[in-house]
Amino acid sequence: MSIMKIERKRGEGMSNEGFDVIVVGAGVAGNVAAYLLGREGLQVLLIERGNYPGSKNMTGGRIYSHSLEKIMPDFAKEAPIERKITREKVFMMTEKSSIGLDFQSSLLGTHGSDSYSVLRGVFDQWLAEKAEEVGVEIVTGICVDDLIIRQGKVCGVIAGIDQIESGVTILADGINSLLAQKAGLRKEFKPSHVAVGVKELIELPAELIQERFQCNENEGTACMFAGFPSDGRIGGGFLYTNKESISLGVVCTLSDLIKGQKALPQLMEDFKTHPTVAPLIKEGKLVEYSGHLVPEGGVEMMPKIIGDGVLVVGDAAGFCVNLGYAVRGMDFAIASGECAARAVSKAYQGGGYSEGDLQVYRDYLEESFVLHDMKLYRNFPKFLETTPRVFSDYPKLLEGIMTDMFVMNGQPTQALVKTIMKHINKVGVLKITRDAWKGVRSV
């Protein structure tokens, strides 16, 4: 349906001045903002450039449920989620080895603090249906090219020859948000603040996944890998179990990836053939190959998120935290969508959408975990950037210790402490202590 048709549809019996709210982008942030405002009775138009909500969206794989749970209690019973994650694995990996931590616990599946593997092409469609049910108008296949800006105030959107007015516009158009740039809210993100992820979706029968990952039906595992997947550079590998597939991928910080020797598609291929990974995906069938950017710069990269008649949410605002063992983007996106909806609703009641009227958006973000956590982990991206040893020397150090501990070849062995110190001294006790201290303080 074109925007013009939407206009005509609205023309019957309604004011023809456009919508109260236009949301650009039907990812999780945009859908949630639209849903909440539609539920409040505002006239909301949600515009998606793909042929259906989710068709341009991609995730590594896991949503922490808490923020959506607050908005749609028990959503996981109805939504097309894949598996509940009840097992967490973190690995240091070298070319030949992997040394892992395995945490399996019923505490991971507790209602309200559980997490699920998801596939966005499916999940976002469901979320958009929820928005549609409360009266949100959704148009797909329309790319918003520009914003209508009058005297510095965003007054709607421009798509091709169509212009459509709104009281306020919510930019949920993803990490590349060209619209936030056009609104003068942000400059280009730096390569050190952005990571690129590549993912293969590999089909496997559900029973085989349950056997290989030792999990119950509908339950699954999340695995993170540091070291080898990114060829010793800043980044890592990930694996999430879905119902009948595995999401396997590699993420690398752009500024560091371009200093290396291996191209990202090759890193992905080598990760697949690693002795730890290959048996997990054996006989699997690749069905989709995807790529996406991840905002990883924390508050340092945050653009201006409030303007006259405009708010920025989700990836477009850089809301994401990657701690290596846990990657959080969707729960931040959803909470930011909620904060934006609350702010717009309040401004609507107050009668205006000036930059001042919309300042409550920031207050709501400050009160929620979104800005709190973004600030708490503000030094972590810098820590990784300045401590490349995490991805290179430390996996090798652990491999060395483990090899001396577990490989018996008939040679006289040394005392364990001596063995460990031998490997630690290769990197340097001081360096390790300093890195550990820096690391602990940054999280």
* Structure-block tokens of residue 135: 């009266």
- Taking only Cα atoms into account, the Rg of the chain, rounded to an integer number of angstroms, comes to 24
Query: Any bridge partners for residue 322, and if so which?
Result: 327
The conformation of residue 139, written as its DSSP 8-state character, comes to E
* Alpha-carbon gap, residue 184 to 170, rounded angstroms: 14
Smallest gap from Cβ 141 to other proteins, in A, equals: 4
Q: Choose between 130 and 342: whose C-beta lies nearer to other proteins.
A: 130
Helix and strand element counts for the chain (H, E) = 17, 19
> What DSSP assignment string belongs to 425-441?
HHH-HHHHHHHHHHHHH
State the nearest-atom distance from the C-beta of 308 to other proteins, in Å.
25
* Amino acid at site 400: G
Q: How far is the CB of 325 from other proteins (least distance, A)?
A: 23
CB of 196 to other proteins, least distance (A): 5
Closest C-alpha among 389, 404, 396, 402 to residue 434: 389
Question: Among residues 189 and 319, whose Cβ is nearest to other proteins?
Answer: 189
Smaller CB separation from other proteins, 117 or 368? 117
| Residue 271 or 348 having the CB closest to other proteins | 271
Name the residue nearer to other proteins (CB basis): 54 or 167.
54
SS3 162: strand
Residue 249 dihedral angles phi and psi, to the nearest 5°: -160, 175
Nearest distance from residue 263's CB to other proteins, in Å?
5
User: Which neighbouring-strand residues pair with 246?
Assistant: 202, 241
Report the C-alpha gap between 20 and 428 in whole angstroms.
Answer: 61
Compare residues 29 and 159 and give the one whose CB is closer to other proteins. 159
- Residue placing its CB nearer to other proteins in the complex, 52 or 325: 52
Alpha carbon 274 to chain centroid distance?
Answer: 25
Min. distance of Cβ 244 from other proteins in angstroms? 11
Nearer to other proteins by Cβ, of 195 and 344: the residue is: 195
Q: State the sign of the Cα–Cα–Cα–Cα dihedral 398, 399, 400, 402.
A: positive
DSSP one-letter code for 79: S
In the complex, minimum distance from the CB of residue 275 to other proteins, in angstroms, rounded to a whole number: 13
Residue 430, classified by CB atoms within 10 Å of its CB into exposed (0-12), middle (13-18) or buried (19+), is exposed
To other proteins, the closest distance from the beta carbon of 164 in angstroms equals: 14
Closest distance between other proteins and the C-beta of residue 245, in Å? 7
- Is 121 or 307 the residue whose CB approaches other proteins more closely? 121
Q: Which residues bind other proteins (CB under 8 A)?
A: 49-51, 54-59, 119-122, 124, 141-143, 159, 175-176, 178, 188-191, 194, 196-198, 200-201, 245, 252, 254, 257-258, 260, 262-266, 268-270, 272-273, 286-293
Report which of 264, 262, 296, 265 is spatially closest to residue 190, judged by C-alpha positions: 296
Please, which residue, 109 or 260, has the CB nearer to other proteins? 260
End-to-end C-alpha distance for the chain, whole angstroms: 47
Rounded least distance, CB 122 to other proteins, Å: 7
CB of 316 to other proteins, least distance (A): 12
Q: Is 383 exposed, middle or buried (0-12, 13-18, 19+ CB in 10 A)?
A: middle
Q: What is the DSSP string of 284-348?
A: -EEEEEEEEEEE-SGGGG----EETTEEE-GGGGT--EE-SS-EESHHHHHHHHHHHHHHHHHHH
Q: Which is nearer to other proteins, 36 or 170 (CB)?
A: 170
